[in-house]
């Protein structure tokens, strides 16, 4: 998995997008990047800024390039160096739930999986207005891989 592997499944009231990539760095190193709100926009081209702290129970303010809209996901389900969830919206109406998972293969190799599920009644009507998430998800995974591997090489 040197390149991101992207999948998308769609039904009438939901869509799930997922990207997977292997990163030649420890899960701890990858987690450090994913949980550092202040440094996020330095390495991640899909996010121009994050206000708040990435920790369980916190609500973030995400700024993304190309839109003036601010996304406000709540962080939950945090398991250090393993997983976390960012969710926003109203259940049954329109909701987005993004899950980050790190699976350590060995001391210096980690599989990264990011999945987002959009669902709700409004989603059924708005899905054709949503962007193509493939390039966004692939860029996110590539950016994370590049920075985690760069950081790991500097440490070694």
Per-domain residue ranges of the chain: 5-155
Does the pLDDT of residue 119 top 80, yes or no? yes
CA nearest 98: which of 110, 112, 108?
Answer: 112
Does the structural domain 5-155 have CATH classification 3.20.20.60?
no
> Which residues are CB-neighbours of 130 under 8 A, at least 6 positions away?
15, 118
Encode pLDDT of 46-91 as tens digits: 999 999 999 999 999 999 998 888 999 999 999 999 999 999 999 8
Beta strand spans in the chain (E): 5-10, 14-23, 49-51, 61-63, 70-71, 74-79, 83-90, 94-106, 109-119
Q: How far is residue 33's CA from residue 155's CA, in Å, rounded to a whole number?
A: 14
Confidence of residue 148 (pLDDT cuts 50, 70, 90): very high
Does the pLDDT of residue 12 top 70, yes or no? yes
Q: How far is residue 114's CA from residue 123's CA, in Å, rounded to a whole number?
A: 20
pLDDT given at position 124: 86
Bridge partners of 89, per DSSP, are 95
pLDDT given at position 146: 97
pTM exceeding the 0.85 threshold for the entire prediction: yes
| Chain Cα centroid distance, residue 136 | 10
The structure tokens listed for 110 are 């980690």
């Amino acid at each position: 998995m040197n390149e991101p592997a992207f999948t998308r499944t769609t039904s009438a009231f939901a869509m799930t997008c997922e990207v997977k990539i292997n990163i030649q760095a420890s899960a701890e190193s990858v987690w450090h990047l994913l949980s550092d709100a202040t440094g996020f926009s330095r390495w991640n081209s899909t996010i121009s800024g994050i206000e708040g702290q990435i920790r369980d129970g916190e609500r973030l303010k995400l700024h993304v390039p190309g839109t003036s809209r601010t996304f406000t996901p709540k962080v939950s389900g945090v398991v250090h160096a393993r997983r976390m969830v960012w969710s926003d919206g109203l259940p049954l109406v329109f909701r987005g739930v993004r899950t980050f998972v790190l699976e350590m293969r060995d001391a210096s190799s980690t599989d990264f999986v990011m999945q987002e599920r959009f669902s709700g009644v409004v989603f059924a009507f708005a899905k054709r207005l949503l962007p193509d998430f493939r390039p966004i998800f692939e860029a996110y995974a590539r950016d994370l891989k590049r920075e985690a591997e760069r950081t790991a090489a500097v440490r070694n």
